[in-house]
Amino acid sequence: MLSSIPSHYYVIGSTIMAILMGGFVMIIRMRASKKPTNEKKIIIPPIAMSSGALMFLFEQFRVPAMQILEAAAVGMLFSTILIATSKFEVKGRDIYLKRSKAFVFILFGLLIFRVVAKMILSSSIDVGELAGMFWILAFAMLLPWRIAMLIQFKRVKKTIPKLH
């Protein structure tokens, strides 16, 4: 049944979803900077996203080894930008993620890159395989970023004096 749907509809649908999800992430991130953060808020996103790896149980989403390496390398490269722009600050006894003016532009840039890359690659790579590659890219970007955030958070947390 799904195989009767032309692949360009999948590309259009997934692009619209990527744009909506990107907008959702920007809203969540802006709100998050108004509330104190903690270890749980930092580590939950990659844990939750890891469930997406279940897609690889299905043949159409499997990615050849070389494309796994390429997608992971691009994701890790992009994570360095996110790591560089994610800083914490102490307000009172709470730790907040500093709002970065560059972050919104970085997210827009990543979103534009994803949409353009999907449009270009969809003509030569199967839509399911492409979905797998973009999941790998996103996870390879999210995981190092969140690990770096957790390390930085713990360093900042050590600077806060304990209550006696």
17 and 44 inside one domain: no
pLDDT of residue 163: 63
Query: By the 8 A CB rule, do 146 and 45 touch?
Result: yes
1 and 49 inside one domain: no
pLDDT of residue 80: 94
Q: Is residue 164 part of a domain?
A: no
Is the pTM higher than 0.85? The answer reads no
What is the phi/psi pair of residue 42, to 5°? Answer: -85, -40
Q: Is residue 6 part of a domain?
A: yes
User: DSSP states of 63-125 as a string?
Assistant: --HHHHHHHHHHHHHHHHHHHHH--EEEETTEEEEPPPHHHHHHHHHHHHHHHHHHHHHTTTS
pLDDT of residue 157: 94
Low-confidence spans in the chain with pLDDT less than 70:
1-3, 5, 7, 163-164
